[in-house]
Chains A and B, each alone.
Chain A
Amino acid sequence: MIEVISDLWSQSGIANMTWQQGVMILLSFVLFYLAIKKQFEPLLLLPIAFGMMLTNLPWPGGGIFHPEWFQGGINWAALGGHGVDPVTGAEIEPGLFDFLYIGIKLDIFPCLIFMAVGAMTDFGPLISRPSSFFMGAGAQFGISFAFVMATILGFDAQGAASIAIIGGADGPTAIYLTSKLAPELLGAIAIAAYSYMALIPMIQPPIMKLLTTKKMRQVKMEQTRPVSKVEKICFPVIVSVVCILILPTVAPLLGCLMLGNLFRESGVTERLSDTAQNALCNIVTIFLGTSVGATAVGTNFLKPETLKIIVLGLIAFAFATVGGLLIGIAMYYLSKGKINPLIGAAGVSAVPMAARVASKVGQKENPSNFLLMHAMGPNVAGVIGSAVAAGVLLSLFG
Chain B
Amino acid sequence: MTSALIQFAERGNVLSLADALKNAGFTIMVVFAVLCLIFIIISIAGKIFSATGISDKPAAAKTEAAAAAPAAAAADEEEFSSGSLKLKGCDEKTAAMIMAIVSDNTGIPLSELVFKSITLVEDK
- Give residues in A with beta carbon < 8 Å to B: 124, 126-128, 130-131, 133-134, 136-137, 140-141, 143-145, 147-148, 151-152, 154-158, 160, 164, 225-232, 234-235, 238-239, 242-243, 246-247, 265, 368, 381, 384-385, 388-389, 392-393, 395-398
Q: Return 22 A-B CB contacts under 8 Å, by A number.
A: A126-B42, A133-B39, A136-B35, A137-B32, A140-B28, A147-B27, A148-B24, A151-B20, A157-B14, A160-B20, A164-B24, A226-B62, A227-B55, A227-B58, A228-B56, A228-B59, A230-B49, A232-B59, A238-B41, A243-B34, A389-B31, A397-B8
Known contacts A124-B59, A148-B21, A158-B11: does B39 contact A228 (CB below 8 Å)? no
Please state if A144 and B35 are interface contacts (CB–CB under 8 Å). Answer: no
Please state if A151 and B59 are interface contacts (CB–CB under 8 Å). Answer: no
Residues from chain A with a CB closer than 8 A to the CB of B113 are: none
Please state if A242 and B59 are interface contacts (CB–CB under 8 Å). Answer: no
Please state if B57 and A239 are interface contacts (CB–CB under 8 Å). Answer: no
Most chain A beta-carbon contacts within 10 A, residue among B21, B24, B57, B91: B24
Partner of A228, one of B27, B30, B37, B55: B55
Q: Does B119 contact A (CB under 8 A)?
A: no
Q: How many residues of B contact A (CB 8 A)?
A: 47
A381 to chain B: closest residue by CB: B35
Residues from chain B with a CB closer than 8 A to the CB of A388 are: 30-31, 34-35
A398 and B24 CA atoms in complex are apart in Å by 15
Please state if B26 and A396 are interface contacts (CB–CB under 8 Å). Answer: yes
Most chain A beta-carbon contacts within 10 A, residue among B12, B38, B62: B38
Partner of B37, one of A143, A242, A396: A242
Partner of B28, one of A144, A160, A243: A144
Partner of B42, one of A155, A230, A238, A368: A238
Please state if A229 and B57 are interface contacts (CB–CB under 8 Å). Answer: yes
Residues from chain A with a CB closer than 8 A to the CB of B21 are: 148
B56 to chain A: closest residue by CB: A228
A139 and B35 CA atoms in complex are apart in Å by 12
- Give residues in B with beta carbon < 8 Å to A: 2, 5-6, 8-9, 11-15, 17, 20-21, 23-28, 30-32, 34-39, 41-43, 45-46, 49-50, 54-60, 62-63, 66, 91, 93
A243 to chain B: closest residue by CB: B34
Residues from chain B with a CB closer than 8 A to the CB of A140 are: 27-28, 31
- Number of contacts between A and B (CB, 8 Å)? 150
A139 to chain B: closest residue by CB: B31
Residues from chain A with a CB closer than 8 A to the CB of B93 are: 368
Please state if A231 and B55 are interface contacts (CB–CB under 8 Å). Answer: yes
* Min CB–CB distance B13 → chain A (angstroms): 6
Partner of A396, one of B11, B23, B46, B55: B23
Please state if B14 and A133 are interface contacts (CB–CB under 8 Å). Answer: no
A130 and B3 CA atoms in complex are apart in Å by 32
Closest 8 pairs (CB-CB, A-B): A226-B58, A144-B24, A151-B20, A133-B39, A137-B35, A133-B35, A130-B42, A144-B28
A136 and B26 CA atoms in complex are apart in Å by 17
Residues from chain B with a CB closer than 8 A to the CB of A136 are: 35
Known contacts A157-B8, A158-B11, A238-B42: does B35 contact A228 (CB below 8 Å)? no
Partner of A130, one of B2, B32, B43, B62: B43
Residues from chain B with a CB closer than 8 A to the CB of A225 are: 50, 55
Residues from chain B with a CB closer than 8 A to the CB of A234 are: 45
Residues from chain B with a CB closer than 8 A to the CB of A145 are: 24
Known contacts A130-B46, A134-B35: does B28 contact A141 (CB below 8 Å)? yes
* Min CB–CB distance A141 → chain B (angstroms): 6
Partner of A147, one of B8, B23, B35: B23
Please state if A230 and B28 are interface contacts (CB–CB under 8 Å). Answer: no
A151 and B27 CA atoms in complex are apart in Å by 15
A385 and B42 CA atoms in complex are apart in Å by 15
* Min CB–CB distance A255 → chain B (angstroms): 15
Known contacts A226-B55, A396-B6: does B24 contact A147 (CB below 8 Å)? yes
* Min CB–CB distance A68 → chain B (angstroms): 16
A143 and B30 CA atoms in complex are apart in Å by 13
Residues from chain B with a CB closer than 8 A to the CB of A235 are: 42
